[in-house]
Amino acid sequence: MGIKSIILAAGKGTRMKSEKSKVLHHIFDKTLLGYVLDAVNDTHMVEQSYVIVGHQAEAVTEFVNKNYADNSKTILQTPQLGTGHAVSMACSELENFDGEVIILCGDTPLLTSDTISDFIEYHKDNKADITVMSAIFDNPFNYGRIVRNIDKTLKKIVEEKDATIEEKQIQEVNAGVYCVNWNKVKKSFTELKSNNAQGEYYLTDIISWGVKHDLHVQAYTLKDNTEILGINSKIQLAEAAKILNKRNLIKLMKNGVTIVDPDTTWISADTEIGTDTIIYPSVYINGKNTIGSNCTIGPMAHIRGNVEIGNGVRIGNFVEVKNSKIKDNTNVSHLSYIGDSELGSHVNIGAGTITANYNPVTKVKNKTIIGDYANTGSNSVLVAPIELEEGAFVAAGAVATKNIKSWALALSRAPMKIFENWVKQAK
C-alpha cells in the first residue's frame, strides 16, 4: 500500500485577469503549482502525483513534464464540471490502486510538507477512510463550512453559496485537502450529484457520501490557517508572497543570518545562507542559491538565481549576480554585474565591472572565468567568453576581449590629452 496524490490545477482563475493559467503564476522564481508539488514530494511519502489540467492545459503539462516528470503526470479535464468531476478524471489511472490518495489544490503555495506529513499521519493513526483538512477563521466568508454532529463527528461540508444563515456562522472551514482510502471512496465519484447552485460535482460531497455509507470520516484542524490561503487574484498573490517571504526570513534569522531590515528584504525559500552572514536592506534574492557564512550582501543587491557564493564574500550595493559561482573571500564592488561566471577566491571586482555575457546577434550566453587573486579596475568590461588567470589585472576603464595570463596587466584606454586653459578660453 502506497500513497498517491491528485492535484487540482484545471481552473482558469478569472479574477487573476491574466491569459496565463493561475497555477503558473510565480512567487519568487517558482510557480504556485511548483510550490504544491515540492511540498508533496518533500514529505517523501507520496510516490506519484496526478495533476488535473484544463485551462492552458498545454502550458501546465509542459511545466510538469519539464520539471516533475519523474513522479508526476497530467490528466486533462474536459469539460470542467467541478472539483468532484476533476478528481474522477484520475479514476482510470487508479483503477487497481490500493492505498491512500491525497487530494490538494494547485493554487496553495503556503502549504508545507510538514503539515501534509502530519495530515497523513493523523489519517492513519485514526484509521480513517476520509479525512478532510480544516481551519478556523474569524471571517470565513467564501469558504465551505465544516458541519459537525452534536458529538463533533463530521457530518458534511457546505459551500458558502449553498449554506443556510446558521451554517454561514460556522468559523471552521474546509481547507480543500483530503486524504482518502481509495478503495473505499472511489465509488463515490460515480455517484456524486450536481443538484446545487452551480450545477457542478463538488468534491466536498464525498463527506456526506462517506457518512451515508458508514465510513469513518475525520477532520484534521490546521495549526496555521495561512497555509490554506488559495490564490484567486493578483492581490492574493501579493499577500501570499509576503507571508512566504516573512516565513523564509524568520527561518534564516533563527539559523543565524542577520537580516537588517526584514520589511525591505526578499529571499526565496530555495536560498540557503550560512551563519553570521549579513543581509542589508532592499536586497532581493530570487531562485535557488547557496550563500556561505560571514558574507555581506547589499544593500540594494539582486541575486537572480543559480548562484553559489562561498564564505567571507562581499556583494556590494547595486550589484547583480546570476548563474555564477563565487569562491571564498572575494569582493564584488558596487554597481557591478556578474553573469554566467566563475570567480575564484580573493578576487576583487572593481566598481562598475560588467561581465558582457550575452551576444544579442547569436542570442548565446558565454562564460567568464576569473582566477584566484585576480582584479578588475573600476568601469571595466569583460567580453565573454574570456578567462582571467590567477592574479591577472584588468585596468580601470578597460574593455577586455582576450584571455589574460597569470599576473599580467590588461590595459585598453586611449591616451589622455590635457588642454591647458581650455575652459577659460571657451568661456
Active site residues: 334
CA 53/CA 76 separation, integer angstroms:
5
H-only helix segments in 56-163: 57-67, 83-88, 113-125
Closest CA to 184 of 226, 147, 213: 213
CA 218/CA 394 separation, integer angstroms:
68
Q: Using DSSP bridges, classify how beta strands 364-365 and 358-359 pair: parallel, antiparallel or unpaired.
A: antiparallel
Yes or no: say if 360 and 342 are a contact pair by the CB < 8 Å rule. no
The backbone region for 282, taken as left when phi is positive above 0, alpha when psi lies in -120 to 50, beta otherwise, is left
| Interior/surface letters 336-349, b for 16+ CB within 10 angstroms, e for the rest | bbbbbbbbbbbbbb
Phi and psi for 232 in degrees, rounded to 5?
-120, 0
Q: At what angle do helices 113-125 and 32-41 cross, to 10 degrees?
A: 50
Residues 6+ apart with CB under 8 A from 74: 50, 51, 52, 53, 57, 60, 61, 64, 65
Place of cell 570567480: 343
Instruction: Look at residue 133 and give its three-state secondary structure.
Output: strand
Identify residue 359 by its one-letter amino acid code: N
User: What 8-state DSSP symbol labels residue 282?
Assistant: T
How many Cα atoms are found within 13 Å in the side-chain-facing hemisphere of 239?
A: 12
CA quadruple 126, 128, 133, 136: dihedral sign: negative
User: What 8-state DSSP symbol labels residue 144?
Assistant: P
CA 50/CA 98 separation, integer angstroms:
16
User: What 8-state DSSP symbol labels residue 73?
Assistant: E
Omega within 30 of 0 (cis) for the link into 140? no
Instruction: Look at residue 184 and give its three-state secondary structure.
Output: helix
